[in-house]
Structure 1
Amino acid sequence: MPPTPQEIYATAQNMAEASPITRALIFAGLGGEFWPADPKPATYDEFNWTVRLYGLTEQDTTQNAAIEKWVKSALRLHQDNRSARAADGRPDCPYNGAALLPPASTRVAEAT
């Protein structure tokens, strides 16, 4: 079963706060894949590192830069796929999925 957008977002938040070496270790520990730049590149894309985790793939000139790009795209993922229901766009909002307010005509008790 693939991870939910909330799990991807939480992973990206943890990685955003980590140091570059810790970020790479977290990435690898979660099953992330790395493809280094070709030592003798023949085309432009062979100059770049490629990283992939949870179906998101990013490229950049260094491993750290590629992981940083992955983190940024993972943080934007929940906004791009419109799966977040919170008004502020955060998937971890405590009001996600809250019941609707009762109609304005509902009578309530008043404190005296």
Structure 2
Amino acid sequence: MNGEAIYGTRPWRIYEEKMNPNQPDEEIKAEFDDAVFNGFPQQRIPDVRYTSKGNKVYVIVRHVQDTVFKLRAFTKQDKIEMVKCLSERQDVNWKLGEDGLMIRMGELVDSYPIYVLEVSLKNS
């Protein structure tokens, strides 16, 4: 469902953005066990990861419970055409401001706690 955000992509201008810069780094001390650990670290720290392919930036949203949040990595110089959620295949409400890209999901997507936003940039 979200493979296009991983396969054949390249790094974007930054790799990761913490939703709260004061949060500690994620630390995994236990082994993964689907029956007990459910495939996710016990300490779920909200952050996003970035990849890119062509004129698209993929934002891998991890453990962000808020339906409204800001991506500070985007600037006014980024010419954004559209933002959509890959798993839902629908457009997302967004607004690019001086201090980042404001995302309004409306409600949590079915694939929470991890989902992917596709940000389409205009070709320059």
Would you tell me which structure has more strand in proportion to its own residues? 2
Structure with the larger helix share: 1
Query: What's the TM-score, normalizing by structure 2?
Result: 0.23
Higher relative contact order (CA 8 A, sep 6+): 2
TM-score normalised over the length of structure 1: 0.25
Larger Rg: 1
